[in-house]
């Protein structure tokens, strides 16, 4: 298994630069997840690591060796794509062993590698079946097994669950998590647009935006301490609410007066120079609490609600045409709130403050 280091990596197509200033250290045994909006360069970066896209600037090192000009087959990398790309006329066993046969490995080596991968992926009963006799989740496991038998330095996953239905996606995600636990020294890089996959699988998440890296951190670091509005709203579903306001009291706790008339305390230190600072207050829907008191940060009319049993999602009428609605997740069933005016508050430890889109914690 391997360490990877990307230093000032760039990718350009002619005069158009799509990625720049990519600096990232990936340690042996990590499962790194690339996330970001469509077109941010997640898959392009993965393909550059694989050698399928040329790096137009900077260096990529695998175990301290610069591999920019080394062909994909010699990088010690195995890739699992969105499509299973299985040979339909070959059994599971033959699909998994094909690359080893091409490499002229001995039959004993091939059989041992296939049996080991089949045991890890629970594919033993299916080794003699054709792909058409397997479910989508089982086919994806075969595609992963085809990588495992090669014993690569790095595993690359390019949205491997995107072609599965919701139930299979959950089951296969759990299987990938178990696979990583059974191979603790394996280095894996995983591209997805699914936040649940990122939050549950990753050792660290790399958020890509605007042709570069917006933030790197553990899933909970990004959730609890986003460095700016983009990451704050990208990580978490539904997105974090943002409310405009002004700092009216500074110190170890900061008081904000919201434009809508409410006030809030945040456990974020500020100085006298911040008095009157225009900020956006960020609070996640799940951190909002309904209140009848005068100490509230938001009051609005519930326009729509979704009763999900264990919780109710409230959508408040936008304050102006085109503005995003404020959302709140309340535990339990609250169908009686539709059409009513509701006040909301939040614990000071759950409040985020942003100025010029940057978190006051990171300025």
Q: Summarize pLDDT for 265-316 with one digit per residue, the tens.
A: 999 999 999 999 999 999 999 999 999 988 999 999 999 999 999 999 999 9
- pLDDT for 324: 82
Contacts 24+ apart (CB under 8 A), 275-278: 275/247, 275/248, 275/250, 276/246, 276/247, 276/248, 277/246, 277/247, 277/355, 278/244, 278/245, 278/246, 278/355
Give the strand pairing for 311-316 and 327-331.
antiparallel
Closest CA to 148 of 191, 94, 86, 96: 96
Phi and psi at residue 116, in whole multiples of 5°?
Answer: -65, -45
Which among 191, 209, 234 is the end of a domain? 234
Cα separation, 257 vs 281, in Å, equals 10
Cα separation, 119 vs 136, in Å, equals 19
Closest CA to 27 of 144, 140, 189, 178: 189
Provide the residue range defining the domain that includes 25. 4-234
- pLDDT for 75: 92
Cα separation, 29 vs 22, in Å, equals 21
Instruction: Tell which phi-psi region holds residue 67, choosing left (phi > 0), alpha (psi between -120 and 50) or beta.
Output: alpha
For the four alpha carbons of 37, 41, 43 and 45, in that order, the dihedral sign comes to negative
- pLDDT for 1: 63
224 and 245 belong to one structural domain? no
Give the CATH number of the domain where residue 280 resides: 2.40.50.140
77 and 197 belong to one structural domain? yes
The set of residues, in sequence order, having a beta carbon less than 8 Å from that of 293 and lying 6+ positions away, is 343, 345
185 and 330 belong to one structural domain? no
- What is the domain count for the chain? 2
Closest CA to 140 of 151, 131, 128, 153: 131
Q: CA separation (Å) from 41 to 13, 15, 84, 137, 222?
A: 12, 16, 22, 27, 20
Give the strand pairing for 204-209 and 212-217.
antiparallel
230 and 254 belong to one structural domain? no
Q: What is the pTM of this model?
A: 0.89
253 and 355 belong to one structural domain? yes
Tell me which residues of the chain have a pLDDT lower than 50.
Answer: none
- pLDDT for 332: 94
Phi and psi at residue 212, in whole multiples of 5°?
Answer: -150, -170
Cα separation, 242 vs 330, in Å, equals 18
225 and 254 belong to one structural domain? no
The number of angstroms, rounded, from the C-alpha of 305 to the middle of its chain's C-alpha atoms is 27
281 and 169 belong to one structural domain? no
CB atoms near residue 262 (< 10 Å)? 21
92 and 208 belong to one structural domain? yes
277 and 142 belong to one structural domain? no
The number of angstroms, rounded, from the C-alpha of 69 to the middle of its chain's C-alpha atoms is 29
192 and 98 belong to one structural domain? yes
């Amino acid at each position: 298994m391997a360490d990877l280091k990307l230093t000032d990596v760039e990718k350009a197509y002619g005069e158009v630069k799509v990625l720049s200033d990519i600096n990232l250290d990936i340690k042996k045994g990590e499962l790194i997840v690339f996330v970001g909006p469509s077109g941010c360069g997640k898959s392009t970066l993965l393909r550059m690591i694989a050698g399928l896209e040329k790096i137009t600037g900077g260096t990529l090192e695998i175990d301290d060796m610069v591999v920019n000009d080394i062909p994909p087959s010699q990088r010690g990398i195995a890739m699992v794509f969105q499509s299973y790309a299985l040979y339909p006329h070959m059994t599971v066993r033959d699909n998994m062993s094909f690359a080893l046969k091409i490499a002229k490995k001995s039959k004993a080596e091939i059989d041992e590698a296939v049996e080991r991968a089949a045991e890890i992926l629970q594919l033993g009963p299916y080794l003699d079946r054709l792909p058409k006799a397997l479910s989508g989740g089982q086919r994806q496991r075969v595609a992963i097994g085809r990588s495992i038998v090669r014993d690569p330095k790095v595993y690359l996953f390019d949205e491997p669950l995107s072609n599965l239905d919701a139930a299979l996606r959950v089951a296969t995600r759990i299987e990938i998590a178990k696979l990583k636990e059974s191979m603790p020294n394996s280095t894996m890089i995983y591209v997805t647009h699914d936040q649940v996959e990122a939050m549950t699988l990753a050792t660290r998440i790399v958020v890509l935006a605007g042709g570069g890296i917006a933030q790197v951190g553990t899933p909970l670091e990004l959730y609890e301490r986003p460095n700016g509005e983009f990451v704050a709203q990208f990580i978490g579903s539904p997105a974090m609410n943002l409310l405009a306001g002004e700092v009216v009291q500074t110190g170890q706790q900061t008081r904000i007066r919201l434009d809508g008339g409410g006030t809030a305390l945040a456990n974020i230190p500020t100085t006298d120079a911040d008095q009157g600072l225009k900020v956006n207050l960020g609070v996640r829907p799940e951190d909002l609490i309904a209140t009848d008191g005068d100490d509230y940060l938001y009051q609005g009319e519930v326009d729509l609600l979704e009763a999900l049993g264990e919780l109710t999602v409230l959508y408040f009428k936008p304050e102006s045409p085109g503005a995003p609605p404020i959302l709140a997740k309340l535990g339990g069933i609250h169908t009686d709130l539709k059409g009513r005016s509701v006040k909301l508050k939040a614990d000071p430890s759950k409040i985020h403050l942003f100025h010029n889109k940057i978190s006051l914690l990171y300025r």
